[in-house]
Amino acid sequence: MATVTDSDSLIALRRDLHRRPEPAWCEFYTTARIVEACREIGVDALHVGPDALASDERMAVPDDETLDEWYGRALAAGADESILTELEGGHTGLIAELHRGEGPTIALRVDIDGLPRGESEAAEHVPAAEGFRSENDGAMHACGHDAHAAIGIGVLRAISESEAFSGTLKLIFQPAEEQVGGAKAIAESGHLDDVDSLLAIHIGLDHPTGEIVAGVEGFLAVAQFEAEFEGAPAHAGGQPEQGRNANQALAAAVQNCYAIPRHSDGPTRINAGVIEGGTASNIVPEYARMVLEVRGETTPLMEYMDENARRVVEGAALMHDCDVTLSDDGRAPSAESDDELRDVVGAVAKGHPDVERVLDRDDLGGSEDATYLMRAVQDNGGLAAYVGVGTDHPGGHHTATFDVDEDSIGIGVDVLADSIERIAAESP
């Protein structure tokens, strides 16, 4: 049985990463720090930068100015420059491999990016009270990906020290999950082609410390896109007829997107999360912008919403004599966990002394781009499951007061490492 070793170092790693959260494709410090941890363990192969990704399949990559800013922050924070140079241009994330003789290839995926939001300074907020609150203004680990990275390192270390594991372990430290923009680049990289079983994880999800969900379901397929409307400016009082109002086009698009008929085949969602435009009350606005997302219980339902939303946006621009440019952001399909892996994880979790409750399944109720990885493995004849590791978390996910119970890190490491051992042992 694999056991978590040196839990203090995993908590220290988690706190270091929590102090320096980085958004999608800007995880320069985070990647460099994880590379160092992998080298300390002594992995057999390490894929970093473009070697870990299908570069052209990355979605929602920031502009060069943003990438350069975060690269500079990582360098100033003490990240190893020799590692950073491999990540230039937003090629963050890595894949670490352990080769332990004959046996199946098993992958574990953890995500590593933070969110673009500020963190609480309240005295009762543990990271603030204990001195590891975010030092990057406007960014925060508000979804537990710092703990995910620590769990990944813990599992890697446990399997490296295990005498029971035979096979290959691939530990995928994935960037850009919050933008649903990173998994496709890994799924298309070739690194999953030989994977027999894949586990992906998430901490919390409203499950307390000591609770394990053996196989999460209910992934909503999602697509995000941006629409930029261009009209013509004019004096709103003197020559309003000379203007072409981009805000009117945007407003018509928002209202009519929400009016898209729902589908009889299952639940759908739509949200105009960003709308902005105009400069002054006396200027007919020439530019407006919206960022929209659609979801569906299945991939076809998401595609139904996506196609209709684009039609509505283009129609709104035409109606108000404006031009519109659409650009894709993140996208992810739906997926399901396989019962064979769900059974193994559930059985292992039930035997863990610190696990108080095991749920066979639960619905996520949201979206996750781990589904790209799950489906890639399943399409190749392998198995995949998404595991929930409970943690007591004050504040909901994506809020300023989110935090994790650090005891759950060790629980996650033990359950996942033991599950990986058993999956390998029971593989044909």
Nearest to 388, CA basis, from 217, 218, 200, 213: 213
Q: 141-196 pLDDT, tens per residue?
A: 999 999 999 999 999 999 999 999 999 999 999 999 999 999 999 999 999 999 99
* Domain 221-331: CATH architecture, name and number where available: 2-Layer Sandwich (3.30)
Is the pLDDT confidence value at 340 over 80? yes
Nearest to 136, CA basis, from 110, 111, 115: 115
At 391, which amino acid appears? T
Instruction: Tokens for 244, please give them.
Output: 């072409």
Q: 192-250 pLDDT, tens per residue?
A: 999 999 999 999 999 999 999 999 988 999 999 999 999 999 999 999 999 999 999 99
**What pLDDT band is residue 427 in, cutting at 50, 70 and 90?**
confident
Spacing of C-alpha 127 from chain mean position: 22
- The H-assigned helical ranges of 42-161 are 64-76, 81-84, 126-129, 145-160
State the CB neighbour count (10 A cutoff) for residue 193.
Answer: 11
H helix or E strand, kind and range, residue 316 = helix 299-319
Is the pLDDT confidence value at 1 over 70? no
Helices and strands, counts by H and E, the chain = 12, 16
Instruction: Tokens for 294, please give them.
Output: 């659609």
Nearest to 58, CA basis, from 89, 20, 99: 89
Is the pLDDT confidence value at 94 over 90? yes
pLDDT for 194 equals 97
List the chain domain ranges. 7-218+335-426, 221-331
Spacing of C-alpha 16 from chain mean position: 19
pTM (predicted TM-score): 0.92
C-alpha span between 424 and 428 (Å, rounded): 9
Q: What is the mean pLDDT of residues 326-343?
A: 94
Q: Identify the sign of the CA torsion 329, 21, 66, 186.
A: negative
What is the per-residue burial (b if ≥16 Cβ within 10 Å, else e) of 63-92? Answer: eeeebeebbebbeebebbeebbebbeebbb
What are the φ and ψ backbone dihedral angles of 317, each rounded to 5 degrees? -65, -45
Residue 148 near residue 110, CB atoms below 8 Å: yes
For residue 14, the SS3 value is helix
Rg (CA), the chain: 23
Nearest to 333, CA basis, from 365, 374, 364: 374
Instruction: Tokens for 276, please give them.
Output: 């902005």
* Domain 7-218+335-426: CATH architecture, name and number where available: 3-Layer(aba) Sandwich (3.40)
Is the pLDDT confidence value at 315 over 90? yes
**What pLDDT band is residue 2 in, cutting at 50, 70 and 90?**
low
**What pLDDT band is residue 380 in, cutting at 50, 70 and 90?**
very high
C-alpha span between 176 and 7 (Å, rounded): 27
Q: Which residue has tokens 């896109």?
A: 225
